[in-house]
Amino acid sequence: MRLRAPAALLAAALLAFHATPASAATITTNPGFEDGLTGWTCSSAQAVSSPVHGGARALQGTPQGNDLARCQQSVTVQPNTTYQLSSWVQGAYVFLGATGTGVNASTWGSPGAQWSQLKTSFTTGASTTSVTIYVNGWYGQGAYYADDVVLDGPGGAPDTQAPTVPGNVAVGGATASSLNVTWSASTDNVGVTRYEVSRDNGSPATATGTSFTAAGLSPKTSYAFKVRACDAAGNCSAYSTPATGTTTTGGGGGGLPKRVLVGYLHASFANGSGYIPMSEVPAEWDVINLAFGEPTSVTSGDIRFRQCSAAECPNVEPEADFIAAIRAKQAQGKKVLISIGGQNGQVQLTTAAARDKFVESVSAIIDRYGLDGLDIDFEGHSLYLNPGDTNLAAPTTPVVVNLIAALKTLKSRYGAKFTLTMAPETFFVQLGYQFYGPGPTGAADSRSASYLPVIHAMRDDLTLLHVQDYNSGPIKGLDDQYHTMGGHDFHVAMTDMLLSGFPIMGNPANVFPPLRQDQVAIGLPASVNAGNGFTSVTEVQKAFDCLAKGSNCGTYRPRGVYPGLRGLMAWSINWDRYNGQEFSRSHRAYLNALT
């Protein structure tokens, strides 16, 4: 036995040697995340102890909205040299790649819950001395894991020279919600790979060219921007001298409080809830939408509004008293609008003649009653997208193009004080995360998300968007889960999509940008009588807390905190009074208490 022991030990050692493959050489810093995220620059990611491929730790990244949870690091390399890049990964979609001067290598996989190795290679150019290697997930695909990120090849001398400071920074192209920043290019011995733009000394945004559009800004506000240049090795110049710019007034409908309640008044019908004379509309409401102006025919563009008939509404006031009460509300700081459409008012501006008639007839209503503006409540088949109409910023479907042109004309006619609001259903807005028009195969409903190009075109003139979070089917949120109306999570998920933006049909090249916080209110039924999806006062306020304060959240976590969220909309003022004004009194007190 003593003589055979060394042989047995040798056999076991040889077996162990052949069972464990040799590790590749690597010039990656902290390739297995054993030291946490040391050496890596990451977003929405952390080092975890399980699952791991090797060692004691691995990377977990969780994409959120447009954030792909990328982890990257700059590695010095030698020119004219071939390198092998690999990583062990888990997840629905995981991407691995490298970028640098003359280098753009990438690969991806969908390994699911089992470790799988991704591999790619690249050859550096004559002037390449550093590359950035990265790993990331994909939109709405849940967490991914990565371990043992190996870059195999010879290392190079570190690049320590920073680029020169960018020059001639200028700010222009002002709209109500955006400014365009431009600058002259920097130079460097290796090459600039990115520019970082800081607004008002905040965390920088990244640009690859020499211009950057700052979006989601507030109207009539001055902003300062400074720019620095960075290379692939992570060397950054000093910031440039700040340049300032001011957004335009835009938006319309000034004079509203920081938090608003918007309500629809049954001005042309009773609908079982009873007629309310304008003079008796409760003071809690800041915006009063007269429901409804309707077309003489679906495609005429000829919009008419009449007060409720005495036969249906015995307590209807004379027109002179109605107008006088509107003036009294306006003197109190209220906005009174004509709402066009509704469930029965289908409006299709299929021709230029219908577009022009729409402008003429809506203007006549606004002028007759001295109104502050217009609410677009197109439902049913009013809006749709033709096959091939896929570019959010350049729609081609006539009913969409003509509506945009009509609204711009009305805005121009009445000026900065013109209040413009919209009340689409979730089907016409948030459904765009999954479907947009008939889709690439033509099988989807052509009305899907057809409001999006209208909202996008009018975003600089839009006072409020209050999507109807009711009478809705389940809608997929940015967490890729379906959310059902009636609870606070539904309102949080739907509102988060408006305030963080989302890729249309998941396409990162066609993104609906976020709206300003002051442009968004949550649309609700005022009572159980008013529509499907009624949400209790408690649940509504939990949703608002989550969005505006980051507290009281449920299972859905929004992509940000939105303290400027504007308020609430209800269908309707009449149904609220029928229900003892629970909606307006409770929520007015809640909104007033917010800072």
Catalytic residues: 379
- Which tokens is 75 given? 């590695």
Distance CA 289, CA 571 (A): 10
Distance CA 116, CA 136 (A): 15
Phi, psi (rounded to 5 degrees) for 7: -65, -40
Closest of 373, 360, 497 to residue 426, by C-alpha: 497
Phi, psi (rounded to 5 degrees) for 358: -60, -50
Find the radius of gyration of the CA atoms of the chain: 29
Distance CA 165, CA 182 (A): 14
Query: Would you call 254 helix, strand, or coil by DSSP?
Result: coil
Q: Which residue has 């990328």 as its token pair?
A: 70
- Which tokens is 227 given? 């720019």
Distance CA 435, CA 506 (A): 9
Contact 33, 147 (CB under 8 A): yes
Angle of CA points 125, 127, 128, to nearest 5°: 65
Contact 117, 94 (CB under 8 A): no
Phi, psi (rounded to 5 degrees) for 409: -65, -45
Q: What one-character-per-residue DSSP string does 444-513 give?
A: S-TTTTTTHHHHHHTTTT--EE--B-SS---EE-TTS-EE-TTSHHHHHHHHHHHHH-EEGGG-TTSEEP
Maximum CA extent, the chain: 117
125 by Cβ neighbours in 10 Å (0-12 / 13-18 / 19+) ranks as middle
